[in-house]
Amino acid sequence: MVSKQEIKQLVIARLKTLPEDTGMSIGSQGDFNKREMIAHVERGDDVGQKIVEVEMSFLRGLKEGILYEA
């Protein structure tokens, strides 16, 4: 079983690999640069939780063979 903290670290590690000039738009929650994305995940606020949710959804999807469906 992977802990929430481990998931968070996994997401942050993934975000750190992004080019410095990458931004992310999450609808009405706003737009964020790489440093802000990482800060939100570290804080665990709504935006951070959304980024983690996408990662979790992706990891669950991998287990269920989502890439074969794509």
Residues of this chain that interact with another protein (CB under 8 A) are 14-15, 17-19, 21-31, 33, 50, 54-55, 57-58, 61, 66-67, 69-70
Residue 3 C-beta: closest distance to another protein, Å: 20
Cα 23 from chain centroid (whole Å): 13
Residue 42 C-beta: closest distance to another protein, Å: 18
As to burial, measured by CB atoms within 10 angstroms (0-12 exposed, 13-18 middle, 19+ buried), residue 20 is exposed
Q: What are phi and psi of 41, to 5 degrees?
A: -65, -40
Residue 48 C-beta: closest distance to another protein, Å: 14
